[in-house]
Amino acid sequence: MDNGLESLTLSAPFSRTLSDQVANQLRQVILQGRLKPGQRIVEHEIADAMAISRGPVRDALKILQNERLVVQYPHRGAFVAWLTLRDAEEIYSLREALESLALDYAIKYATDEQIAELDQVINQMTAQLQQDCTQTEATDLDLEFHHTLCRISGHSRVLVAWTALRAQVRLLILTHRILQPTDFRENGIEWHRRLVNAVRQRDTQVARRVLQDHLAASFESVATAIRVGKLEPPIEQ
């Protein structure tokens, strides 16, 4: 039977794979803070450093632009994204919508064993706090908790959407270092414990209220840091 594939022209995947590899490396250095918000990314410098042509670099920047980690201006080039207060509002409102839906599904469908996975992440948070972890380590584990929540919910589309948003959340938090990080981490552990207890008890109302309080506190810390921050986004000309 003719399935129509004979009429398709398919190219080798190497170029795309190389672009993905470049995007992964640039994403890592952005999220690590080695490329700063507002800093220009020069195609030929990246290409020379990686000993590749500029094409894969250009494609990689398009990938990161779609992820909102990079912005590109005509005739000026690409820059590491600077997330504004409006960006923070959009990111956190979307987070709340996605994670509220994940909570509903987790409460309905997650097994006790799956809920226990959340306890394991909290235990890692507690151990991390006692070891005086860095802000990056604390942020990664916090986001891993919420990723786990979305995963055990069984709602595959929520998980896909949340995963796509994760890099922006991480960039936002790490760019605008949360004020009083030790206090926030301690409070965060308590919020997470309360959230897991509500999920385990299948109490949707309490779980949603705890989630809203947690995200509201995180947003306010980020928003305050944005308001008092001195860095500015590149001005489009």
- Per cent of the chain over pLDDT 90 is 45
In whole numbers, what is the pLDDT of the chain averaged over residues? 85
Higher pLDDT, residue 121 or 232: 121
- The pLDDT, as a whole number, for residue 184 is 57
pTM above 0.85, yes or no: no
Q: Which CATH architecture has domain 85-228?
A: Up-down Bundle (1.20)
**Level-2 CATH architecture, domain 12-80:** Orthogonal Bundle (1.10)
pLDDT in tens, 15-62: 568 888 898 899 888 887 788 888 899 998 988 888 899 999 999 999
Residue 69: band (very low, low, confident or very high) from pLDDT cuts 50, 70, 90: confident
For 165, list phi and psi in degrees, rounded to 5: -85, -20
Tallying the residues shown for the chain, one arrives at: 237
Q: Which two tokens stand for residue 11?
A: 């190219």
Per-residue pLDDT band for 67 (boundaries 50, 70, 90) equals confident
Q: Is 13 a residue whose pLDDT tops 70?
A: no
Does residue 136 have a pLDDT over 90? Answer: no
Quote the pLDDT of residue 177. Answer: 60
* Integer-rounded Cα radius of gyration of the chain: 20
Can you give the pLDDT at residue 166? 92
Q: Helices (DSSP H) in the chain: which residue ranges?
A: 14-31, 43-50, 54-66, 85-109, 112-130, 135-152, 156-175, 181-200, 204-228
User: How is residue 42 annotated by DSSP?
Assistant: -
pLDDT over 60 at 103, yes or no: yes
CA distance 166 to 180: 23
Domain locations in the chain as residue ranges:
12-80, 85-228
**CA distances, 153 to each of 176, 200, 201, 208, 229 (Å):** 30, 13, 15, 14, 37
